Copies of this chain bind each other. A is one copy, B any other.
Amino acid sequence: MGTKGERTRSEIIEAAKGLFYRRGFGQTSFSDIVEQTGIRRGNINHYFRTKQDILKAVVEQRAGEYRAILADWDTRHRTPKQRLHRFVQMVAAYRHELTRFGCPIGTLCGELGKEPWESQDAARELFDVFRDWLTAQFEQLGEQKQARARALHLLGRAEGISVIGHVYRDPALVATEVRALNKWIDDL
């Protein structure tokens, strides 16, 4: 279970993760985190001096979760095509969250890529995790030269689906586009 300090730190990260997703990074204040966790500001500052420090921890947390999911898919699904379909199925499974708040990675990087932050580097790693895993799948499909371009194409398609689904708040639209992506994988 970890020490009390570790539990407090995790609690702050979990709260911030949800707030950054639902409200955005810029619109989440220390007060929001205090309110959500019931942990005093001074105590939060004991673990994290700035909101950027919390962002770094949230990105690490997410990256760890994603790596664990992808490792699990690697053991569960034998062929690269099955794994690519599993990736697309994730988009479909999250369609209600995606149409409510957008893609957690895409909207975070979009926001951090604006002028006041200039700190997109801090979150790009989350895309790298998926890009590298997808690249490995396309390499196993024999697309050595194009593997990375294919991976970025698929990531872009998933992001585009999230943007349009979010704008029109329409999970059915996500489902339609996911079918098109599955067909694209089948035709590879």
Cβ–Cβ contact A116 & B27, under 8 A: yes
Give the number of residues in A that approach B within 8 Å (Cβ atoms): 39
Enumerate chain B residues within 8 angstroms of A127, measured Cβ to Cβ. 164, 167-168
Quick one: given A153-B177, A153-B180, are A114 and B160 in contact (CB under 8 Å)? no
- Give the complex CA separation of A120 and B163 in angstroms: 12
Enumerate chain B residues within 8 angstroms of A107, measured Cβ to Cβ. 110-111, 114
Cβ–Cβ contact A113 & B160, under 8 A: no
Q: Nearest chain-B residue to A173 (Cβ)?
A: B152
Cβ–Cβ contact A163 & B110, under 8 A: yes
Residues of chain A from 108 to 140 with CB closer than 8 A to chain B in the complex: 109-111, 113-116, 120, 124, 127
A149 on interface, CB distance cutoff 8 Å: yes
Cβ–Cβ contact A116 & B23, under 8 A: yes
Q: A24-53: contact bitstring with B at CB < 8 Å (1 yes, 0 no)?
A: 101100000000000000000000000000
Quick one: given A22-B115, A173-B152, are A163 and B167 in contact (CB under 8 Å)? no
- Give the complex CA separation of A8 and B161 in angstroms: 39
Cβ–Cβ contact B163 & A109, under 8 A: yes
Interface of A: prevailing SS: helix
Enumerate chain B residues within 8 angstroms of A124, measured Cβ to Cβ. 167-168
Q: Least Cβ distance of A179 to chain B in Å?
A: 11
Cβ–Cβ contact B26 & A24, under 8 A: yes
Cβ–Cβ contact B157 & A114, under 8 A: no
Q: Least Cβ distance of A96 to chain B in Å?
A: 14
Cβ–Cβ contact A149 & B176, under 8 A: yes
- Give the complex CA separation of A166 and B163 in angstroms: 14
A171 on interface, CB distance cutoff 8 Å: no
